[in-house]
Amino acid sequence: MQAISVYFFLSFFFFSSVRLSFELWLVLPFLISIGIKCIYIYIYVVNILYRDHALCKLQEEGFTREDIANKLKTIPFSIEMRNVVLDLKQRNVPIILMSDANTFYIETILQAYGVRDCITEIITNPSYTDEQGRLRVRRHILTTDQQHQCQNPCSLNICKGQELDQVIHRYQQQGHIVEKIAYTGDGKNDFCPATRLRQTDTFFIRKEKGLDRYLDLVPEQKLRLQSQLVYWLKPETVWESMPKYFSL
C-alpha cells in the first residue's frame, strides 16, 4: 500500500472558542429550579457520574431533552473557529474532536452551526436514553473497564493522550504518514496529548485557562512539550495561523 501523507486537526472541542463554559451556559438559566448545590456539582466536579446526576435532576424538574438542546443551540460559537473547520474540510484535513463533554452536547452544537459534516471523528463520553426516557451520559472509560493509569492530569474517564496514540496508530495501519498535527485546547487534560506532539506539530494553547495556569504553576512540565506552541486569547489567532500551518 502506498503511503499517503495526512494532516490532523485535533481539538478538545470548539468550546475553546466559547467565552463561557457551555455547562454554565446550559445550567445557569435553570438555577432557581435546581438549586445551588446541583449547580456546584454539575460544573465543578470532574466525575462524569455527578454530571449525569445533575442532568437527571434537570429533567426531574420538568426540563425536557428539547429544552436542553435548544439552550445548547444558543451557545455563541466563534465565526473564526467555524471558518477554521470549513477551511480544513476543503483541504481534506481530518478533524478529530476529543472532549470530556458528551455526544449529545457536541452533536447538537455542531448541527446547529452547520459543521457536523466537517468532523471526521468524535471521541467523548456517550449519551443515551434510559428506560425512563431520560437523557443520560456515561463514562468513555467505564468503571468496569481497564483504567488508563495515566500519571498526567487526565480525567478518570478519558486519557486524551492514549486516545491520540490510538488515532495515530489507526492511520498508520492504513498506510498513512502523519506529517503534521495541530491541536487546540485549554484544559489540564489537554496536557497529556500535548506530550505526544512532535517538533513538526503545533499546539494552540488558550491563554488564562486551566492548561495555561497549570504550566505556570508547574513550569518544569513545559519542558516535556516538543511541539511549536502558539498562545491565543482570541480565536482570530487560530484562524490566522491554521491555514498557513497546513500550507507549509
Q: Which fold has domain 4-18+77-125+140-247?
A: Rossmann fold (3.40.50)
Residue-range domain boundaries for the chain: 4-18+77-125+140-247, 22-72
Residue 248 and residue 225 in contact, taking contact as beta carbons nearer than 8 Å: no
Sorting pLDDT into bands at 50, 70 and 90, what band is 43?
very low
Question: Rounded mean pLDDT of the chain?
Answer: 82
The pTM score is 0.86
pLDDT tens for 199-225 read 999 999 999 888 999 999 999 999 999
| 133: exposed, middle or buried (Cβ count in 10 Å: 0-12, 13-18, 19+) | exposed
Q: In the chain, what percentage of residues exceed pLDDT 70?
A: 80
pLDDT tens digits for 163-204? 999 999 999 998 888 888 999 988 899 999 999 999 999 999
Higher-pLDDT residue of 28 and 54 is 54
> Which residues, other chains included, contact 247 with Cβ-Cβ below 8 Å and sequence gap of 6+?
none
Angle between helix 48-60 and helix 31-44 axes, rounded to 10 deg: 170
